[in-house]
Amino acid sequence: MKPQKKFFLKKMLMVFLIVALYNLWTLRTVTVFYASAKKGNNIVVDHLPLTDRDRIHWFREHKQEFKEKYNLYHMFDRKIYIWDIGNGFTNNQLSPHADLYCFDEMNAEKNCIEKNLLFVAETNSDGRETYYIGGMGTLSYTLSSDGAISMHRDEHFFERVYENVMQSINPLNYL
């Protein structure tokens, strides 16, 4: 076999493997381990689809289920936080991880997860939906009334976070 043909076959095999792995990941169903509206609208899942588009599509497909099955989306709190379960639920006293998010309403010894916010969906008062991938960061997507999704970058996000942190630790605030 010619070296060029061998190289081409290797490339094609690599592309096939990448596409196959991608399809296996995206076809895997997302498992909801916990959902609660007690301390905000929180959902704990094992994974989300890989791409931003697929994550938004997954959320929109399951939005009605979240309302009906888990009683989420109360009138005053119109955000849903989707967390990664990571290594599973843990106990906040025994866990070696310092940054945990705990669900106090769970009647279980292990009621905390490592803080890994995957997705936030927010519905504004006018009904417009905004999606934040990886939490409330620099990248968001807004769904328009005609169903189009537009991407937005917040160039000053980290400056505002820094200002808020500095304001909160200012000793003059506590006088």
Instruction: For 83-101, write each residue's pLDDT tens digit.
Output: 999 888 888 777 766 688 8
Tokens of 41: 């609208």
Q: Are 112 and 94 in contact (CB under 8 A)?
A: no
Assessment of whether the complete model's pTM goes beyond 0.85? no
Tokens of 80: 């849903």
Q: Are 97 and 88 in contact (CB under 8 A)?
A: no
- Summarised one tens digit per residue, pLDDT across range 30-49 is 889 999 887 778 899 998 88
Rama region for 101: left / alpha / beta (φ>0; ψ in -120 to 50; rest): beta
26-50 b/e (C-beta count within 10 Å ≥ 16 → b): eeeeeebebbbbeeebbbbbeebbe
pLDDT of 147 higher than 70 = yes
pLDDT of 155 higher than 60 = yes
pLDDT of 2 higher than 60 = yes
Gap between the Cα atoms of 11 and 21, Å rounded: 15
Amino acid at 113: I
Report the length, in residues, of the chain: 175
pLDDT at 138: 66
How would residue 104 be classed by pLDDT, with cut points 50, 70 and 90? confident
Residue whose tokens read 């939906």? 129
Q: Higher pLDDT residue, 136 or 63? A: 63
Q: What is the mean pLDDT of the chain?
A: 79
**Dihedral (C-alpha) 22, 26, 28, 32: value to the nearest 10 degrees?**
140
